[in-house]
Amino acid sequence: MGIKRVGRETYRPDSVYVTATGAVVGPKEGQGPLGGEFDRIWQDEIRNFSSFEKAEQGLLREAYEEAMGKAGRSWEDIDLVLGGDLLDQTISTNFAARDHTRPLAGVFSACATFTEAMGLGALLLGGGGLRRVLVSASSHHSTAERQFRFPLELGYQRPPTAAWTATAAGAAVLEREAGPIRVEAVTLGRVIDIGGKDPNDMGSAMAPAAYDTISRHLSNSGSSTKDYDAIFTGDLGHFGLKMLTRYAQERGLVFGSELDDCGRALYSQDDQDTHNGGSGPGCSASVFAGPLARRLTQGRLTRILLVATGALFSPTTFQQGETIPCIAHAVELVKAEEA
């Protein structure tokens, strides 16, 4: 038991595992290229809920159910729930906590929330005391649109760099006992603000934050991009991935085919009209909890770096002409037997 500090700001928790995950997504996400790798796909965005906000809470509760069921755990076994979402005052996570009534630590890093929760959870477990933690993040296209953008009914035209907030929730049970996936290392991100102001081009704004965290993680761990089967950023999307590749190359870090992005992977660019790709805390949460966790468990991947990215602005700061502070948190995950 314990946590080893590696380099300046990377931590290796001893014996922390992901024992089970749950990924529940909306219809558009289910129709995308990863559709076959989620646990549940909703047939519509609202179901029988009276509001989109309640639907998002329902989505999150189902992700909890899936993760808990697969882990074979009851809520009494969970010492702490660490999670967050995109809505003002993170109401999805807080309202879902009315049902599970386990100790709750709300976290917020915008679309980087899932790896913040997973990183903190792994460090808390590695330190001892806590035995099992549930981490989660969620988002819903329709709750985010009306909070951050315009009423859906307006049908405004989106620029090519705009992201599509995913209707998706992901959850993972982290434990100190053995499990199929081990949390190898954690690097929590710092705020990087290069002066981007366009909420319709968050991918470009977030790319330098992704670079900062990835380069620190690699340098601290003494590893290179080639040591990973996959490096999945959060919600950079098509434009952000190009920006990251060029930005890193200018600084001497060259990515190969291992680099991909949860937002890019979630939808088909050809026929789903999602422009830059998916975003929202549920995007990287569900892409990890569904496809990536599945591939690690099956051994199709043996070592990945998950680097969710977040744009930490609000409608108020946008209206006040502020730039967008960005952040990225990295969690390195390995297939347990390969460790």
Cβ distance to a copy of itself smaller for residue 21 or 220: 220
Q: Are 73 and 97 in contact (CB under 8 A)?
A: no
Identity of the residue, 159 or 315, whose beta carbon is nearer to a copy of itself in the bound complex: 315
Interface with a copy of itself includes 129 (CB under 8 A)?
Answer: yes
128 binds a copy of itself (CB under 8 A): yes
Residue 210 host element (H or E) = helix 202-221
- The reply on whether position 325 binds a copy of itself by CB under 8 A is yes
DSSP state, 176?
S
Using DSSP bridges, classify how beta strands 132-139 and 168-175 pair: parallel, antiparallel or unpaired.
antiparallel
- By CB under 8 A, name the one of 218, 243, 304, 312 that touches a copy of itself: 312
Applying CB under 8 A, does 4 fall inside the site for a copy of itself?
Answer: yes
Q: Hunting for tokens 């679309």 — which residue is that?
A: 111
Stretch that binds a copy of itself, among 182-190, 200-208, 220-228, 289-297 (CB under 8 A): 182-190
Q: Fill in the DSSP letter of residue 159.
A: P
The closest of 321, 12, 45 to 182, measured between CA atoms, is: 12
Distance CA 269, CA 13 (A): 38
Residue 20 or 81: the one with the smaller Cβ distance to a copy of itself is 81
CB 149 → a copy of itself: shortest distance, Å?
Answer: 14
Rounded Cα gap, residues 209 and 234, in angstroms: 11
Q: Could you give the CA distance from residue 33 to residue 13 in angstroms, rounded to a whole number?
A: 33
**CB under 8 A: which stretch of 6-14, 40-48, 160-168, 277-285 binds a copy of itself?**
6-14
Question: What values do phi and psi take at 299, rounded to 5?
Answer: 85, 5
Scan residues 83-122 and list those touching a copy of itself (CB under 8 A): 84, 87-91, 94-95, 97-98, 101-110, 116, 119-120
- Residue with Cβ nearer a copy of itself (68 or 120): 120
Stretch that binds a copy of itself, among 164-172, 183-191, 226-234, 280-288 (CB under 8 A): 183-191
Least CB distance from residue 329 to a copy of itself, whole Å?
8
- 280 part of the interface to a copy of itself, by CB under 8 A: no
| Residues binding a copy of itself: number (CB under 8 A) | 62
- 215 near a copy of itself, judged by CB under 8 A: no
Cα–Cα nearest to 230, from 334, 180, 305: 305
198 interacts with a copy of itself by CB under 8 A? no
Q: Name the token pair of 217.
A: 């993680």
Residue 288 CA neighbour count, 13 Å, CB half? 41
Alpha carbon distance 278, 134 (integer Å)? 24
Q: And the tokens for 177?
A: 């006992």
Looking up tokens 């969970």, which residue turns up?
Answer: 78
Structural tokens at position 7 = 């380099």
**The pair of three-digit structure tokens given for residue 111, joined into one six-digit string:** 């679309």
- Binding-site member from 36, 44, 47, 51 for a copy of itself (CB under 8 A): 51
**Minimal distance in Å, beta carbon 67 to a copy of itself?**
18
By CB under 8 A, residue 256 contacts a copy of itself: no
Write out the residues near a copy of itself by the rule CB under 8 A: 1-5, 9, 11, 13, 51, 53-54, 79-80, 84, 87-91, 94-95, 97-98, 101-110, 116, 119-120, 123-124, 126-131, 147, 187-193, 312-317, 320, 322, 325, 327
